[in-house]
Amino acid sequence: MSERFRPAHADAPWARALLAASAVLVAIVMLVLPLAAVFAEALRRGLPVAIGAILDEDSLAAIRLTLIVAAITVPVNLAGGIAAAWAVAKCDFPGKRVLVTLIELPFSVSPVIAGLTFVLIFGAQGWLGPWLQARDIQVIFAVPGLVLATIFVTFPFVARTVMPLMQEQGRDEEEAAATLGASGFQIFSRVTLPNVKWALLSGVLLCNARAMGEFGAVSVVSGHIRGETNTMPLHVEILYNEYQFAGAFAVAALLALLGLVTLAAKTMLDHAAGRRAGGAA
């Protein structure tokens, strides 16, 4: 009996190695290489050129617009996401299942269709078009349209990260708080919200990353007016189509960097939350 003991549920060592190797390989080819290529391409003619491309007037406008859209989208979806998750997890009402399905709608519908819907509603030919035009309000091909489209596409992130946690936690603590004399608002702010704060932050970061990177829906409602309604992803596409590779890759690299920073922050948060829960157990 010289063979080492192996638990019944463990796979053969060669099988485990093969699985791990293929996972790493796929990750490198599909995720790491493209990202590395973007940075390599952006820096091919040196850092000053890349920085110069980013400091271009139109590029700066695109960056500013992207940040503005994200700055409006994230708080809106934070509030909406908390409200939706809270309603689903802590309350019983008819149509709850429909609401859960609706929350996931933006994940299943193509963003382009979402953008077209907004054009259909708010565009010059749309349902509300004449009413809006009479009051000189521009939604489509303007910032409000971009914000609307982005909110729609990124709505599920906060709701979907917070909801499962709230459901798992149940209502016990809220009920205990009520018997101890807490008002509805006190229960929400002192019990419900602190219990999901890590998941909430993680959802906010994901929502932010997606809001900055959204292309499809935004592309439809933007109108591609350079320096006015171009967000970073749209700007990258324009530069690329005009063969301005240096500029395209520089802006793309910046966008990727924003996404990576978000991801790193989220990972650190998850780790901190895990350590808090795990270390205490």
Partner 1 sequence: MSIEVREIVRRFGATAALEGVSLHVARGEFVALLGPSGSGKTTLLRILAGLEGSDVGSVRIEGEDMTGVPARERRIGVVFQHYALFRHMTVLDNVAFGLRVRKRRPSAAEIARRVRELLALVQIPELERRYPEQISGGQRQRVALARALAIEPRLLLLDEPFGALDALVRKDVRRWVRGLHDRLGISTILVTHDQEEAMEMADRVAVMERGRIVQCDTAEALLREPATPFVAGFLGEATRLDCHVRGGVAHFDPLPLPPLRVTLPDGPAQAFLRPGDIAVHAGPGPCTVRALRDAAEERARLVVEFGGVLLDATMAGGQPVQRGASCRMALRGGILFGADGRRADAEPVVRVLAG
Binding site for partner 1 (CB under 8 A): 172-173, 175-183, 186, 190-191, 194-195, 197, 277, 280-281
Could you tell me the smallest distance in angstroms from the CB atom of residue 157 to partner 1?
23
Could you tell me the smallest distance in angstroms from the CB atom of residue 181 to partner 1?
5
Could you tell me the smallest distance in angstroms from the CB atom of residue 193 to partner 1?
10
DSSP string spanning 146-192? HHHHHHHHHTHHHHHHHHHHHHHH-SHHHHHHHHTT--HHHHIIIII
Distance of alpha carbon 243 from alpha carbon 222, whole angstroms: 21
Closest CA relative to residue 256, chosen from 28, 1, 2, 37 = 37
Instruction: For residue 55, give the amino acid letter.
Output: L
Could you tell me the smallest distance in angstroms from the CB atom of residue 26 to partner 1?
37
Place of tokens 């990202």: 35
Cβ proximity to partner 1: between 192 and 231 the closer is: 192
Cβ proximity to partner 1: between 24 and 277 the closer is: 277
Closest CA relative to residue 201, chosen from 167, 163, 169, 161 = 161
Closest CA relative to residue 89, chosen from 14, 200, 7 = 200
Cβ proximity to partner 1: between 12 and 280 the closer is: 280
Distance of alpha carbon 174 from alpha carbon 221, whole angstroms: 43
Distance of alpha carbon 207 from alpha carbon 158, whole angstroms: 7
Cβ proximity to partner 1: between 48 and 95 the closer is: 95
Cβ proximity to partner 1: between 177 and 246 the closer is: 177
Could you tell me the smallest distance in angstroms from the CB atom of residue 273 to partner 1?
11
Could you tell me the smallest distance in angstroms from the CB atom of residue 268 to partner 1?
19
Cβ proximity to partner 1: between 186 and 267 the closer is: 186
